[in-house]
Structure 1
């Protein structure tokens, strides 16, 4: 059944009148999505902690901010590492009952994969999937300019797909 908004031609309609709301080129044109486009919608908020802070302090920050990872930065804001919920859970399994007083610097991941605002989201998603991590800092010219998660990437792409489907329907209906 045709969509309700579609009305087939009837006797008496002017056959020489044509209107086009979309063309195949405009409906199917698609720029590759970048980290910068995602950050435009998400924002550039970055939550961080210092290497000398305790895990107890980090756990409170994770809970209060409702996030899954904290960037570890020095007093100048230079990234030193990242601390995720997974890092904490692994250490809790190794040192039950003794984890919260430990220092962030003892648990954090020091070699952090980063991306740039100009990177394509599909490439970032592949890196995150292959590395089995969910958070990636965004760096530009040596400066931290945001953090993206695998959830951010998936949600952004789902919104794009919904929009593309809508444009395709508009092209078909006319």
Structure 2
């Protein structure tokens, strides 16, 4: 299964903020859409990602005025990205190894979506269930039990 297969099942709308968005505004935005991270775009280009973890790390070191800081001050900029043609198994392995919960997906330099670890796990489970069903059908049809 490819990453594009996950993206094809998802809403293609990419929720994003700009680097000058305040942390408070980003938190309200994330709460409104019930998401744990938000893509940060600067002039339409991927600049970073702001996550719940970014907020916690920053607040633990500088709690005064944390909500007045900008997302650009606290976002993650060292991003691991994947492509729509990558295998979901590969993406899942990287997400687990690097402890990443949200992965931006780029087609060339263009952001085409984001998948969560939940999306990847769900796709893996669906693939495994389909393989199990096919194997059972094959075994039963070969043995004449069907």
TM-score of the pair, normalised by structure 1: 0.77
Tell me which structure has the larger Cα radius of gyration: 1
Q: 2-side partners of 1:161 and 1:94: how far apart?
A: 43
Counterpart of 1:34?
2
**Bigger fraction of residues in strand:** 2
Aligned CA-pair RMSD: 1.3
Q: Residue 128 of structure 1 aligns to a residue in which SS?
A: helix
Within 5 A, what are the aligned runs for 1:94-113?
94-96=61-63, 98-113=65-80
Runs of at least 5 residues in structure 1 that lack an aligned partner in the other structure: 1-32
Q: Report if the CA contact (8 A) 1:114-1:137 is conserved.
A: yes
Q: 1-side partners of 2:2 and 2:105: how far apart?
A: 11
**Bigger fraction of residues in helix:** 2
Runs of 4 or more off by more than 3 Å in structure 1?
Answer: none
Q: 2-side partners of 1:166 and 1:45: how far apart?
A: 33
Counterpart of 1:155?
122
Q: Residue 83 of structure 1 aligns to a residue in which SS?
A: strand
Q: Residue 66 of structure 2 aligns to a residue in which SS?
A: coil
Q: 2-side partners of 1:38 and 1:94: how far apart?
A: 37
Q: Report if the CA contact (8 A) 1:48-1:72 is conserved.
A: yes
1:146 paired with 2:113, answer: yes
1:62 paired with 2:30, answer: yes
Q: Report if the CA contact (8 A) 1:45-1:147 is conserved.
A: no
Counterpart of 1:4?
none
Counterpart of 2:39?
71
Q: Residue 40 of structure 2 aligns to a residue in which SS?
A: strand
Q: Report if the CA contact (8 A) 1:83-1:109 is conserved.
A: yes
Aligned match of 2:16 in 37, 40, 48? 48
TM-score of the pair, normalised by structure 2: 0.90
Q: Report if the CA contact (8 A) 2:49-2:75 is conserved.
A: yes
What displacement does 1:97 show?
Answer: 5.0
Q: 1-side partners of 2:86 and 2:29: how far apart?
A: 29
